[in-house]
Structure 1
């Protein structure tokens, strides 16, 4: 959408009506995808690219404890390249949005002075304008929604307002999706542990508590998560001692 004429150019009388319809569709898509984290992320970035004035590409950066930077659901290779650059330098708009809990607008990378190492390289690989929103923060993960344009001055106050609204809705949907996935994982782990207990109970003619104690001891002695110990018992039934 961005151009040298500015993001406001070409907005007709029906812009607000079209925008409202698009955001309503985004909300429906997010509800439909809430059970899949990757699906939710893809809905968010596609919506940001299509709905936010000035945006040509979008991506999401997650910073997870123990796993570093993750570039997710990018609409092209550009957001991935920008994420890799920020990860390598440890600085940039996305990093600032995540750590400082703020929205970061870059009008022109060629004249940007806040990140003297990042900005010239970002401009060289095709990002002249950028808009980064802190997406959400949990105990273990932080994230940002990043919008890119190949044109300077691509984003204006309307872009910031619409992007911020989208980021807020997206954060709620993403957290709900993560919780649902964690719940499914917990149920799956419970089923695996139950199967392993049943195998041990049958093999050694013991009760459920004794079988569970065996799993706990093996988990502690091998420093292995309980569900992995249980899965090993299921896969190697003859090695259940």
Structure 2
């Protein structure tokens, strides 16, 4: 790679990083993923559309596509269980990038059902980049082009480097989202304990044990029991109307 090309690549990746973090909290996971996909489409040469496929506990979900046609193709791969995104997420090559230069040609033979449908939709070339390597969640960034043989060595390199950058960001965003959910769960459990402590004149430990016992008896998650109890208390307060002000 010559110096001008190297400089262009560094600038494009820096620009993508700035777009992904500009005026957003990393805890806003959905917004982060949306910006990630659009930044990839804008950054990687030859790409005209993109989306994300994520697998969790055997279920594949497609999301954050840049247009409806891409979403339909991502979802089709999920439904068929075949396509570059499935290969990239579950069985990628060492570099983590699956490239199909022409789905109407020999490349399409790897995915005999998906490839003709993709060509019919107007897309001839595709790259899928694995974004997660470990854990229960696996994901791939799917990049589409209407032009065959458009992904040269520079495009593949940019996609690979972008994938590493994006995987790191997604890892942080997922953990931040999980942390936010955990904090919210702790908060609602705390509210539920307070309700039980006031209603039954019990201490903190006894209130928590009441929630645990109820969860086990009903086979409902502890946080869901707490959420129901808090909702019930709010409904009763709303029905009772505003409390009289103390003088």
Q: Normalising to structure 1: TM-score of the pair?
A: 0.88
Task: Answer yes or no: is 1:107 the counterpart of 2:101.
Answer: yes
Contact 1:30 1:170 in 2 (8 A): no
Could you list the per-position Cα deviations for residues 158-179 of structure 1 after superposition, in whole angstroms to 9, with x for gaps in the alignment? 1110001001110110110111
Number of residue pairs the alignment of both structures matches: 228
CA separation of 1:238/1:19 partners in 2, compared to 1, >3 Å: closer, same or farther? Answer: closer
Contact 1:31 1:173 in 2 (8 A): no
Q: Distance in 2 between matches of 1:238 and 1:78?
A: 44
Contact 1:41 1:72 in 2 (8 A): no
Q: Distance in 2 between matches of 1:161 and 1:19?
A: 9
Displacement of 1:65:
1.6
Residue 245 of structure 2 corresponds to none
SS at match of 1:104: strand
Could you list the per-position Cα deviations for residues 93-115 of structure 1 after superposition, in whole angstroms to 9, with x for gaps in the alignment? 11111111331111111112111
Gaps of 5+ in 1: 1-12
Greater helix share, 1 or 2? 2
Could you list the per-position Cα deviations for residues 59-82 of structure 1 after superposition, in whole angstroms to 9, with x for gaps in the alignment? 11111226x221121111222121
Gaps of 5+ in 2: 236-247
Q: Distance in 1 between matches of 2:223 and 2:111?
A: 45
Task: Answer yes or no: is 1:155 the counterpart of 2:156.
Answer: no
Contact 1:35 1:177 in 2 (8 A): yes
Task: Answer yes or no: is 1:27 the counterpart of 2:17.
Answer: yes
Q: Distance in 1 between matches of 2:10 and 2:234?
A: 61
Q: Distance in 1 between matches of 2:196 and 2:111?
A: 59
Residue 35 of structure 2 corresponds to 43
Residue 77 of structure 2 corresponds to 86
CA separation of 1:210/1:154 partners in 2, compared to 1, >3 Å: closer, same or farther? Answer: same
Residue 62 of structure 1 corresponds to 54
Contact 2:85 2:140 in 1 (8 A): yes
Residue 9 of structure 1 corresponds to none
Residue 124 of structure 2 corresponds to 128
Q: Which has the higher contact order (CA 8 A, sep 6+)?
A: 1
Moved more, 40-49 or 162-171: 40-49
RMSD: 2.1
Displacement of 1:45:
1.0
Contact 2:61 2:78 in 1 (8 A): no
Residue 242 of structure 2 corresponds to none
Residue 200 of structure 2 corresponds to 204
Q: Distance in 2 between matches of 1:158 and 1:51?
A: 11
